[in-house]
Amino acid sequence: MNHRTTTTNSQISLINNDIETNIQYLKKQQTEVTHLSGKRKQDLEKVISELKKDTEIKKNIVSALESKQWSTAYNLLAEENLKILEYEKKGQTANSSEEFIDAIKRELLIFRYLSSHNMQYEPTDFSTKGVNFFAWVSNNIIPYFFVLVSAFILTNFYLISYRSNGIIDTDSLIPGKNITKQFVKISVGIIFSLISVLCLFLVSFISATFLFGSGNLDYPYIVYTSKYNMHVEPLENLLLKSLPLQLLSLISTCLLFYIIAILVKNKLGALFVSLLLSTGVLFGISTLDPIQKISSFIPITYIDSFSIVTGTLARQIENFQLSLTTGYLVVTSSIVLLSIAVIILNRFRGDR
């Protein structure tokens, strides 16, 4: 699906559409100019001349893209974007919204990077190649996949030893310290959940690599430091920062599911509460203002670690407390606090 979208919206197709539009407009203006005189004719002739230059540049870009001369093509595209920004400063552009200017700046940074590294462009919103698709899965699939799958599997696994509506825990009949047995159980659940995530990563990477190529770890991604301040970083740097945070956040979520399970002691009820808390936060971050304001203090937010590292989520909800540093602090603290909660709950159950 990503591949179809990328093909349909390829740069060559889009630029060719612009060329065709220019040609049609040129024909119309060249017809009109013959009926004019004086300053109006001079002004229109100037417009026609600029339009011809623009059409010629676009043809050169298409030619460079078709011959895979990436450095040349993206240097020309960067120059075109720079012209648009200069026109904007003079108030000569038709589109002057902040979103439009922001998009042009993003493209300018990407094109300059691609030109200097002689690298092919790939839309990061519709990635298809190995490592790029790996990053896309980490950002768009893993948070929801992990929550849905792990909530179901872990709830059943953590409560498999409970009998008589949660009154009897058969694990307590096995010799050994109860807290040790429970942490072994938690660890098995965490390992199983992480293996399921790893399998999804591997399948995604291998299938994308086999079909469309491995991609490039040096591929540039936009990183926001404030709403309109941005720079580019290679994918490798972002993955090295985001994956450890995502791993810690997954562990924290598994501990949360365990605590919910032993408190509720009913599979269906525990599953409902787990999904309500986890998916409620994940979806609420995008839509609910109260959750957005405190999202930086909610550990499950950092499952979407790639959006945290690139600053896209912080920019979207205008909460730049969401950062890598805050993420490590919040998630690590949550693991410690949840582990303490597990110890207290097991001691309370043992006393009872």
Q: What is the mean pLDDT of the chain?
A: 82
What is the H or E stretch that residue 169 is in? strand 168-169
Tokens of 326: 């805050």
> By percentage, how much of the chain surpasses pLDDT 70?
84
Of residues 163 and 258, which shows the higher confidence score?
Answer: 258
pLDDT value of position 22? 78
pLDDT value of position 109? 93
What are the residue ranges of helices labelled H in the chain?
A: 2-8, 11-33, 38-66, 70-89, 98-117, 130-140, 142-158, 178-212, 235-264, 267-287, 289-294, 305-310, 312-317, 324-351
Of residues 159 and 342, which shows the higher confidence score?
Answer: 342
Q: What is the average pLDDT across 133-153?
A: 86
Could you read off the pLDDT of 44-103 as tens digits, one per residue? 667 777 888 888 888 898 889 888 899 999 999 999 888 888 877 766 555 567 778 888
Q: What is the average pLDDT across 135-146?
A: 86
CA angle 195, 200, 201 (to 5 degrees): 95
C-alpha span between 255 and 253 (Å, rounded)? 5
Q: How many CA atoms lie within 13 A of 56 on its CB side?
A: 6
pLDDT of 164 over the 90 cut: no
pLDDT value of position 308? 93
C-alpha span between 212 and 232 (Å, rounded)? 24
Task: Please report which confidence band the pLDDT of residue 113 belongs to, taking 50, 70 and 90 as the band edges.
Answer: very high
Of 255, 253, 237, 230, the residue nearest 302 (C-alpha):
253
Task: Please report which confidence band the pLDDT of residue 28 belongs to, taking 50, 70 and 90 as the band edges.
Answer: confident
Task: Please report which confidence band the pLDDT of residue 210 belongs to, taking 50, 70 and 90 as the band edges.
Answer: confident
C-alpha span between 224 and 315 (Å, rounded)? 7
Q: What is the average pLDDT across 112-141?
A: 86
pLDDT value of position 256? 92
pLDDT value of position 126? 73
Task: Please report which confidence band the pLDDT of residue 175 belongs to, taking 50, 70 and 90 as the band edges.
Answer: low
Maximum average pLDDT range among 95-99, 314-318, 335-339: 335-339
Residues with Cβ within 8 Å of 42's Cβ and at least 6 positions away in sequence, in order, are none
Contact 6, 123 (CB under 8 A): yes
271 - beta bridge partners?
A: none
pLDDT of 8 over the 50 cut: no
Task: Please report which confidence band the pLDDT of residue 37 belongs to, taking 50, 70 and 90 as the band edges.
Answer: low
pLDDT value of position 9? 45
